[in-house]
Amino acid sequence: MNNKPIFFSNHRKRKRNLKLKDIIDQPDLSNNMNNHNILDIGFGNGDSLIKASKRENQKIYGIESYEIGLNKVISHINKVKEKNIYIYKGDAVEIIDIFPDKFFDCVNVFFPDPWPKRRHHKRRFISKYFLSRLKNKVKKTNKVHITSDHINFIFDTKRIVNEYLKKNLHFSNHRSDRPITKYEKKALSKGHIIFDIIFNL
Ligand SMILES: C[S@@+](CC[C@H](N)C(=O)[O-])C[C@H]1O[C@@H](n2cnc3c(N)ncnc32)[C@H](O)[C@@H]1O
């Protein structure tokens, strides 16, 4: 995969609308250190990202590889001249190190692809290695929120998180401020149960 990140935001004046083919240099994020910074990994169509950007004083950073989803968010950025959304095209595992250390207040991973077949489990990106790299990127008070409707995936993820944290976390009995995404509606219509894991790294 071409892992050169494509960064989008309206942080500077643009003569024309953004396009997916634009590659814009990573901005200097040092001025954003004191903002409430939220990372949304695998934002899909951008439902959660766009909703969160409407809250005051929050900056949202999204990583996604799915072009249709990226284009939806780019259209939103262009349409409302959104200044709080920063998006990166590519694989979260490759992109995470781009961000400054101690940067994020909150990391959301809503309905990541469960890769149900055993031979594809290696494509799941929540691993102890990924968590250890993510830990460098979050502030001391941080919240990591992982959600899935896939039982095998979420139990496996809970085990990985517990082993990493050396704790015995349980599923959360609330959804926190997680908005309802298109994917969640689909899962609920199939009668699936939604599981949330919320923890501090
Ligand atoms: C099932 S969709 C869920 C989308 C959205 N979070 C929601 O709740 O509607 C999972 C998304 O994660 C993205 N994704 C999977 N692995 C990824 C990775 N390693 N880096 C970035 N995005 C990833 C996929 O492209 C897909 O759009």
- Cα–Cα distance measured from residue 54 to residue 177, given in angstroms and rounded to the nearest whole number: 13
| pTM, 2 dp | 0.92
How far apart are the CA of 156 and the centre of ligand 1, in A?
A: 18
pLDDT in tens, 116-162: 998 988 888 999 999 999 999 999 999 999 999 999 999 999 999 99
Range of the domain at 144: 26-199
Pick from 113, 129, 157 the residue to mutate for probing ligand 1's pocket: most ligand atoms within 8 Å of its CB: 113
Residue 68 lies in a domain: yes
Residue 57 lies in a domain: yes
For residues 31-67, one letter each, b for 16 or more C-beta atoms within 10 angstroms of the residue's C-beta and e for the rest, the string is ebeeebbbbbbbbbbbbbbbebbeeeebbbbbbbbee
- Cα–Cα distance measured from residue 194 to residue 180, given in angstroms and rounded to the nearest whole number: 11
Q: Which residues are part of the catalytic machinery? A: 113
Measured distance between the N- and C-terminal CA atoms of the chain, rounded to whole angstroms = 29
Question: Which CATH number is 150's domain given?
Answer: 3.40.50.150
Ligand 1 atom closest to Cα of residue 69: 27
- Which position has the higher pLDDT, 4 or 25? 25
Residue 183 lies in a domain: yes
Residue 10 lies in a domain: no
Pick from 38, 60, 63, 111 the residue to mutate for probing ligand 1's pocket: most ligand atoms within 8 Å of its CB: 111
Residue 58 sits at the vertex; the CA angle it makes with 109 and 66, to the nearest 5 degrees, is 40
Residue 7 lies in a domain: no
How far apart are the CA of 15 and the centre of ligand 1, in A?
A: 31
Residue 6 lies in a domain: no
User: What is the structure's pLDDT at 81?
Assistant: 81
User: What is the structure's pLDDT at 2?
Assistant: 47
Residue 14 lies in a domain: no
The number of distinct structural domains making up the chain is 1
Q: Is pLDDT at 89 greater than 80 in this prediction?
A: yes
User: What is the structure's pLDDT at 11?
Assistant: 56
Residue 109 lies in a domain: yes
pLDDT tier for residue 1 given thresholds of 50, 70 and 90: very low
